Chains A and B, each alone.
Chain A
Amino acid sequence: MPHPRQTFDAQLRALEQRLLRMGGFVEGMLEDAVKALAKQDTQLAEEVVRRDDVADEQDIDIESTCMHLLALQQPLSKDLRVIGTALKITTDLERIGDYSVDIAKAALILAGARYPAPLTRIPRMAEYTVAMVQGALEGFVHRDFRKIEEVIALDDKVDALYVEVWEMLLQEMRQSSENIVRAANLILVARYLERIADHAVNVAERVYYMETGVLRQLATSHQTD
């Protein structure tokens, strides 16, 4: 026999679909921002900056849907946790979009710069970070804790790379003042990637909460400064 909350179930599924769409969208922004940086592609960088408005609209749309469901459906237990999770995740995704825009803006500044050697660590950081965002979203879709653990593990690698990049670029700045603008912007990019990784960890933690009802910080090294 069908249970009496079919309509609400459909609304919850639609909310999850919207979150996924937004997740896929900001993931695309991140990938393109990093590509624009590595390939010094100004057109692509500008395109990423323009996409920010869409991400912001998706965020507002998801938040208002959550508020409507809270007001009209009085969700409890898992339903309540799904909506609470959606409210938190959408903010994380919106921030990931913002940082992607910041990376695209750095790409615009660095479009004419000459890299002494092709970038290696920052693209690797970006690769991990993209994988983290994807992993967190997959964990959300499939309620898959293994994906969540993979995200947490990758965060440590991103943090380690961030320290390496920071030291390397500091060294370059010490060597010559000509390197300062480029190196400073790349440090910022590394910082944005490190922050995006933290937001991916937030999303992962929320999936754990949504499923178990237990709120806890999964990544021991996870700083939320």
Chain B
Amino acid sequence: MNPRPAILMLPDETAKFRVRDLGVAYGGTPALRHVTINLPDRQITALIGPSGCGKSTFLRCLNRMNDLILTARIAGKVLLDEQEILGNQIDPVELRKRVGMVFQRPNPFPMSVYDNIAYGPRRHGIRARGTLDQLVEQALVQAALWDEVKDKLRQSALDLSGGQQQRLCIARCLAVQPEVILMDEPSSALDPISTFKIEELLLELKAQYTIVIVTHNMYQASRVADYTGFFLTGDLIEFGPTVEIFERPVDQRTDDYVRGRFG
């Protein structure tokens, strides 16, 4: 009746990440099991699922944030373009330059708007004033924040509103010119208008960046994502075009979840 496989395998050549048999356990407790998936380049992929389903664990594998958790044991392979990123051959700091991250709560550094954005480029060795000015402006324009802060670049970033702070964090992420942006619940602490601003921004950014977003808000996934993956108790249950997941999911568990029939 419905020939679509539950987990769509996108062609390797369109994938930014190729994840193979990825498993993660924290202190012996499995958090993610045998995930095999291709994440499409310059598209938005949303990861949904109930708390504890493994979606954030999966996201954190994509830029090695799980390295910071000492009890985490990781198996399988993650290829970013052609490069294996889980092994020792790659420097996690270099990886995180290519694969940036934005978190649930806006976390600007306690410094000026300008210094927040210039922080990354400076860390990566850029010192020339002109180059930095240009990077800061470019990142703020891209994050749709420039017009609101161009006269306040020397003011503390902590004086910005929550929605502005989150766009500042996105700009800070963009300033190191990453290829991928990972987002963990980027608008769950924001009001609806700020949320819509972030979503509009994502739709613009996807022309240049691969975006992977974890969200509890299914309607956010349905509004912004090209592809959606559904996780449950550490398993990837379904992955496919967003409209398929929300209009006619293949797996009954996906259907129950998106319809709120979990109990």
* A residues at B contact (CB < 8 Å): 1-5, 8, 74-81, 212-214
A5 neighbours in B (Cβ, 8 Å): 259-261
Identify the closest chain B residue to A212 (Cβ): B1
Are the C-beta atoms of B263 and A77 separated by less than 8 Å? Answer: no
In the bound complex, CA of A74 to CA of B221 (Å): 13
Of the candidate stretches B89-97, B177-185, B242-250, the one touching chain A is B242-250
In the bound complex, CA of A77 to CA of B255 (Å): 6
Identify the closest chain B residue to A79 (Cβ): B259
In the bound complex, CA of A89 to CA of B201 (Å): 39
With A77-B255, A77-B258, A212-B2 as contacts: A4 and B263 at CB distance below 8 Å: yes
Are the C-beta atoms of A76 and B1 separated by less than 8 Å? Answer: no
B109 contacts chain A at the CB level, 8 A cutoff? no
Are the C-beta atoms of B262 and A4 separated by less than 8 Å? Answer: yes
With A2-B263, A3-B260, A4-B263 as contacts: A77 and B1 at CB distance below 8 Å: no
Given A3-B260, A5-B260, 16 additional A-B pairs, CB 8 A:
A3-B256, A3-B262, A4-B260, A4-B262, A76-B222, A76-B246, A76-B247, A77-B246, A77-B255, A77-B258, A77-B259, A78-B255, A79-B259, A81-B248, A212-B2, A213-B248
B259 neighbours in A (Cβ, 8 Å): 5, 75-79
In the bound complex, CA of A2 to CA of B263 (Å): 6
B248 neighbours in A (Cβ, 8 Å): 77, 81, 212-214
* Residue total for B at the interface (Cβ-Cβ under 8 A): 18
Most buried by A among B248, B249, B256: B248
B237 neighbours in A (Cβ, 8 Å): none
Q: How far is the CB of B229 from chain A (nearest CB, A)?
A: 16
**Can you pick out 7 interface pairs between chain A and chain B where the beta carbons lie within 8 Å of each other?**
A3-B256, A3-B261, A4-B262, A4-B263, A5-B261, A8-B260, A77-B248
Partner of B263, one of A1, A78, A213: A1
Identify the closest chain A residue to B250 (Cβ): A213
Identify the closest chain A residue to B222 (Cβ): A76
B261 neighbours in A (Cβ, 8 Å): 3-5
Q: How far is the CB of A39 from chain B (nearest CB, A)?
A: 45
Identify the closest chain A residue to B263 (Cβ): A3
Identify the closest chain A residue to B256 (Cβ): A3
Partner of B246, one of A4, A80, A212, A214: A80
B260 neighbours in A (Cβ, 8 Å): 3-5, 8
Identify the closest chain B residue to A209 (Cβ): B248
A4 neighbours in B (Cβ, 8 Å): 260-263
In the bound complex, CA of A8 to CA of B261 (Å): 10
Q: How far is the CB of A95 from chain B (nearest CB, A)?
A: 26
B256 neighbours in A (Cβ, 8 Å): 3
Identify the closest chain B residue to A6 (Cβ): B263
Are the C-beta atoms of A214 and B263 separated by less than 8 Å? Answer: no
Are the C-beta atoms of A74 and B1 separated by less than 8 Å? Answer: no
Most buried by A among B219, B247, B249, B262: B247
